[in-house]
Amino acid sequence: DAGVTQSPTHLIKTRGQHVTLRCSPISGHKSVSWYQQVLGQGPQFIFQYYEKEERGRGNFPDRFSARQFPNYSSELNVNALLLGDSALYLCASSPGGPTLTRNYGYTFGSGTRLTVV
């Protein structure tokens, strides 16, 4: 079975531009979460989606948005890019639902490395 798939793997954007990152969860998983990891830090929570609804949002500005599609894949959008948005963006997949997530935890993708110049 394929794991969590993220695309693209690397991306270079200019300040002020917009970017879209994509994630496909493990087959059968219904929950997708997004994390931002800057160099030398642990990942920081951005969003969680379950059954196509936003279930949680971290302390990020409104320039960050996301959505989940009927096939449970997800997009993370960032508008008006700043230099400080340069980071590794990680997608995490979980079976979804409180009990399943409690028992099985999260599986992460390989990430998208975003560089803003």
Partner 1 sequence: KQEVTQIPAALSVPEGENLVLNCSFTDSAIYNLQWFRQDPGKGLTSLLLIQSSQREQTSGRLNASLDKSSGRSTLYIAASQPGDSATYLCAVSGNSGGSNYKLTFGKGTLLTVNP
Under the rule (CB under 8 A), what is the footprint of partner 1? Answer: 6, 33, 35, 40-45, 48, 55-58, 88, 90, 92, 94, 98, 101-111, 113
Return d(Cα 34, Cα 57) in angstroms, integer.
9
Q: How far is the CB of 16 from partner 1 (least distance, A)?
A: 26
Query: By C-beta, is 57 or 80 nearer to partner 1?
Result: 57
- Paired tokens of 47: 């969003």
Query: By C-beta, is 18 or 23 nearer to partner 1?
Result: 23
Q: How far is the CB of 54 from partner 1 (least distance, A)?
A: 10
Instruction: Return the bridge partners of 36, or none.
Output: 44, 89
Q: How far is the CB of 84 from partner 1 (least distance, A)?
A: 18
Instruction: Tell me how far CA of residue 97 lies from CA of 48, 67, 104, 106, in angstroms.
Output: 12, 18, 11, 12
Side-chain-facing half-sphere of 58: CA atoms under 13 Å: 13
Query: By C-beta, is 18 or 55 nearer to partner 1?
Result: 55
